[in-house]
C-alpha cells in the first residue's frame, strides 16, 4: 500500500552510533587507556577489594533511557576497571589463572568487531580453529586425523571428552536409551587429587557420584597404580563396567604428574578409554625435562587443556582433542533441518563444530590464540613456561633457606605449596595463622597466592602461570610471608 504525501519518514532505528566521528574518538581513547592500564599493571597493588559504594553502584535500576557511550565508559573507568581480580598482575599466582597478553586483548577487539558465530560455515574462523587444533595435535603428538574443538575451558573440555568416552567405550546404547545403572554400572577411575570438574562431569553424564572411583595417591600425590589395578579388578568381579581412566598432567593442588605411560598401558590392556586432564601441564610437554613424563599423553584417547592458564591466552579458551575422528559427532551430532550444511553458500565449510560439543553458538576463540602464537612464536612460549618452572624452583629454594618457612609438597611443574612455621605453634594454630597471612597478603595488595589443604595442613599455594613475574616478585613474597607471620605472633 502506497502512502501519499508522507511529510516525515518514521525514524528507522539501529544500535550504531549517530555520530561515528565521536565514537571513533572514544574508541581510540579506550585503546590508549587499556594499553596504559596493562602496561602499568606492576605499579599498582595486586588487588583492591570492592568498596561499598561500588557494590551499591551495581544495584542501580535497569537503564530504560540512553545515557550515551561516553558516560558508560566513565562508569567503567570508575567502578569496573579498578576492581578486577588482578590476574594480569605480576604477583598473581592464585588458583591457576592466566595473565593474558596485550595481543590477546587486541584480538578480543578484532573478534568483537567480526562478532563471528563459529558453529559452522564457510568462514575464516572455522578454518582458523582447524589450524589451531592441528598445531596443538602436532605439539602433543596426536595424529592429524584426530578431532577436537575449542571450548570455554578445562571443565567443558573434560565434560565433552568424558561424554565421548562414555558413549564410545562405556555404553554405546546411552545416546539412544539413556543411562541405566541396572543395565551397566559404568566406572571411571582417577586419583584423589583430580580436579572437581571431573566429578561434575561424571554427575552431568548421569553416572552418579559413584561413577567416579577416586584412587589414593602416594607421598608424591601421584596415583597409586596398584590401588588402581585392584579397584578395577574389584569392580569387574562385582559385575560393574570399568570404561575410563583419567590421568592428570599437573594436579591442581601440587602440579603432580600421574604415571601417564603406565596408565596408558593399563588402559590398553583393560580396554579402557584414557583421558588426560592436562589443563595445567600441557605446555610443559615442550620442555625436554618433562618429555618423559608428558610425551605418553600422546597415547590418550582424549586430552583436555587450557589455553587461558599456562599458555597465558585471554579467557575463555580451553581445548579438547579426541583421537577417534568420529567420536565427538557420535555423542553430540543431532540433525536439524535448519542446520543442514549445503554444498555451497554460507553453510558450506569443512566441519560443523556445533556437532562436536554441546554448544551451537560459539565465539571466535581461535583468534586470540592464533594471533598470540604467531606474534611471539611457540619457542618464546616454551621459554616462558621454562621460566615459570625455574621461578617455582627459585621460590622453593627461598622457602628452604628461610628460617620460618616450610615447603609442604615437592614442587612440581609451576606449583609451590608452603607455609609459615615458627616451630612453636600446634597444627590448628598453624592453619589459622597461615590463613590470616594469606588474607593479609591479598587484602593489602602485596600478592595473590591461593591456598589448599594438604594432609590436614593449610598451605599457601603459588601456581605460576604468569609471564610477567620476575624473581624479585618471589623474593618479596617470601619475605612478606615471614614479616606477616612475625606481625601475627
Ligand atoms: C583449572 C582446571 C580445570 C578446569 O578448567 P577451567 O578452565 O577452569 O574450566 C580442570 N582440571 C585442572 C587440573 C585444572 O587445573
CA of 248 to the centre of ligand 1 (A): 11
Work out which ligand 1 atom sits closest to the CA atom of 308.
7
Nearest Cα neighbor of 44 from 102, 94, 83 is 83
Distance (Å, rounded) from C-alpha 37 to C-alpha 44? 10
pLDDT of residue 5: 54
pLDDT of residue 313: 98
Q: 341: which DSSP letter?
A: P
**Closest residue CA from atom 14 of ligand 1:** 279
Binding site membership of 351 for ligand 1 (Cβ less than 6 Å)? no
DSSP 397-465: HHHHHSTTEEE-S--BTTEEEEEE--SSS-HHHHHHHHHHHHHHHHHTTS-EEEEEEETTEEEEEEE--
Phi, psi dihedral angles at 275 (to 5 degrees): -110, 130
CA of 155 to the centre of ligand 1 (A): 6
Distance (Å, rounded) from C-alpha 165 to C-alpha 34? 43
Binding site membership of 277 for ligand 1 (Cβ less than 6 Å)? yes
| For ligand 1, mutation pick of 96, 255, 257, 413 (most atoms within 8 Å of CB) | 96
Binding site membership of 96 for ligand 1 (Cβ less than 6 Å)? yes
Rg (CA), the chain: 25
Could you tell me the maximum CA-CA distance found in the chain, to the nearest angstrom?
94
CA of 62 to the centre of ligand 1 (A): 34
Burial of 237 from C-beta contacts in 10 A (0-12 / 13-18 / 19+): exposed
Binding site membership of 311 for ligand 1 (Cβ less than 6 Å)? no
Q: Residue 450's beta-bridge partner residues?
A: 461
**Closest residue CA from atom 3 of ligand 1:** 154
Distance (Å, rounded) from C-alpha 362 to C-alpha 319? 13
Work out which ligand 1 atom sits closest to the CA atom of 158.
10
Instruction: Determine how many CB atoms are found less than 10 A away from the CB of residue 230.
Output: 12
Work out which ligand 1 atom sits closest to the CA atom of 318.
7
CA of 223 to the centre of ligand 1 (A): 18
Phi, psi dihedral angles at 6 (to 5 degrees): -70, 125
CA of 286 to the centre of ligand 1 (A): 20
Burial of 403 from C-beta contacts in 10 A (0-12 / 13-18 / 19+): exposed
Q: Are 449 and 441 in contact (CB under 8 A)?
A: yes
> pLDDT 10s digit of each residue in the chain, 489 long?
555 555 666 679 999 999 999 999 999 999 999 999 999 999 999 999 999 999 999 999 999 999 999 999 999 999 999 999 999 999 999 999 999 999 999 999 999 999 999 999 999 999 999 999 999 999 999 999 999 999 999 999 999 999 999 999 999 999 889 998 788 899 999 999 999 999 999 999 999 999 999 999 999 999 999 999 999 999 999 999 999 999 999 999 999 999 999 999 999 999 999 999 999 999 999 999 999 999 999 999 999 999 999 999 999 999 999 999 999 999 999 989 999 999 999 999 999 999 999 999 999 999 999 999 999 999 999 999 999 999 999 999 999 999 999 999 988 999 999 999 999 999 999 999 999 999 999 999 999 999 999 999 999 999 999 999 999 999 999 999 999 999 998
CA of 194 to the centre of ligand 1 (A): 10
Q: Residues 138, 141, 144, 147: is their CA dihedral positive or negative?
A: negative
Work out which ligand 1 atom sits closest to the CA atom of 156.
9
pLDDT of residue 7: 60
Tell me the pairing of strands 302-306 and 92-93.
unpaired
Q: Are 182 and 324 in contact (CB under 8 A)?
A: no
Binding site membership of 195 for ligand 1 (Cβ less than 6 Å)? yes
Half-sphere exposure of 140 (CA within 13 A, CB side): 31
Residue with cell 599498582: 44
Distance (Å, rounded) from C-alpha 156 to C-alpha 152? 6
Binding site membership of 306 for ligand 1 (Cβ less than 6 Å)? yes
Binding site membership of 197 for ligand 1 (Cβ less than 6 Å)? yes
Amino acid at each position: 500500500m502506497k502512502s501519499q504525501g508522507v511529510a516525515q519518514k518514521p525514524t528507522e532505528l539501529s544500535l550504531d552510533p549517530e555520530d561515528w566521528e565521536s565514537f571513533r574518538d572514544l574508541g581510540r581513547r579506550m585503546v590508549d587507556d587499556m594499553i596504559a592500564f596493562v602496561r602499568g599493571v606492576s605499579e599498582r597493588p595486586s588487588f583492591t577489594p570492592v568498596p561499598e559504594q561500588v557494590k551499591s553502584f551495581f544495584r542501580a535500576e535497569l537503564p530504560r533511557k540512553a545515557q550515551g557511550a561516553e558516560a558508560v565508559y566513565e562508569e567503567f573507568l570508575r567502578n569496573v576497571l579498578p576492581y578486577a581480580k588482578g590476574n594480569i598482575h605480576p604477583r598473581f599466582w592464585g588458583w591457576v589463572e592466566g595473565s593474558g597478553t596485550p595481543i590477546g586483548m587486541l584480538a578480543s577487539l578484532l573478534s568483537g568487531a567480526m562478532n563471528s558465530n563459529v558453529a559452522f560455515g564457510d568462514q575464516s574462523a572455522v578454518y582458523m580453529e582447524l589450524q589451531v587444533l592441528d598445531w596443538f595435535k602436532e605439539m602433543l603428538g596426536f595424529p592429524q586425523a584426530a578431532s577436537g574443538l575449542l571450548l570455554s575451558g578445562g571443565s567443558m573440555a573434560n565434560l565433552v571428552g568424558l561424554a565421548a568416552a562414555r558413549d564410545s567405550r562405556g555404553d554405546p546404547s546411552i545416546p539412544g536409551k539413556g543411562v541405566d545403572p541396572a543395565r551397566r554400572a559404568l566406572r571411571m577411575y582417577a586419583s584423589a587429587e583430580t580436579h572437581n570438574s571431573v566429578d561434575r562431569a561424571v554427575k552431568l553424564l548421569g553416572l552418579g557420584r559413584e561413577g567416579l572411583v577416586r584412587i589414593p595417591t602416594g607421598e608424591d600425590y601421584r596415583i597409586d597404580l596398584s590401588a588402581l589395578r585392584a579397584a578395577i579388578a574389584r569392580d569387574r568381579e562385582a559385575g560393574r563396567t570399568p570404561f575410563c581412566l583419567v590421568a592428570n598432567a599437573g594436579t591442581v593442588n601440587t602440579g603432580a604428574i600421574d604415571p601417564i605411560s603406565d596408565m596408558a598401558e593399563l588402559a590398553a590392556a583393560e580396554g579402557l578409554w584414557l583421558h588426560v586432564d592436562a589443563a595445567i601441564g600441557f605446555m610443559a610437554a615442550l620442555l625436554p625435562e618433562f618429555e618423559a613424563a608428558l610425551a605418553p599423553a600422546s597415547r590418550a584417547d582424549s586430552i583436555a587443556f587450557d589455553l587461558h592458564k599456562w599458555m597465558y591466552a585471554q579467557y575463555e579458551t580451553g581445548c579438547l582433542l579426541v583421537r577417534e575422528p568420529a567420536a565427538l559427532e557420535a555423542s553430540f551430532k543431532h540433525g536439524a533441518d535448519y542446520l543442514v550444511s549445503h554444498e555451497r553458500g554460507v553453510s558450506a565449510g569443512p566441519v560443523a563444530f556445533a556437532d562436536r560439543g554441546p554448544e551451537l553458538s560459539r565465539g571466535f576463540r581461535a583468534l586470540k590464540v592464533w594471533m598470540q602464537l604467531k606474534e611471539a612464536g611457540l619457542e618464546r612460549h616454551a621459554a616462558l613456561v621454562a621460566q615459570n618452572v625455574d621461578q617455582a624452583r627459585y621460590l622453593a629454594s627461598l622457602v628452604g633457606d628461610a628460617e620460618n618457612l616450610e615447603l609442604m609438597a615437592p614442587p612440581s611443574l609451576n606449583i609451590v605449596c608452603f607455609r609459615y612455621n615458627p616451630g612453636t605453634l600446634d597444627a590448628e594454630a598453624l592453619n589459622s595463622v597461615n590463613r590470616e597471612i594469606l588474607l593479609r597478603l591479598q587484602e593489602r595488595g602485596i600478592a595473590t597466592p591461593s591456598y589448599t589443604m594438604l594432609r590436614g595442613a593449610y598451605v599457601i599455594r603459588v601456581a605460576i602461570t604468569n609471564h610477567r613475574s620476575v624473581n624479585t616478585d618471589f623474593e618479596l613474597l617470601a619475605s612478606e610471608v615471614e614479616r606477616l607471620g612475625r606481625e601475627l605472633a
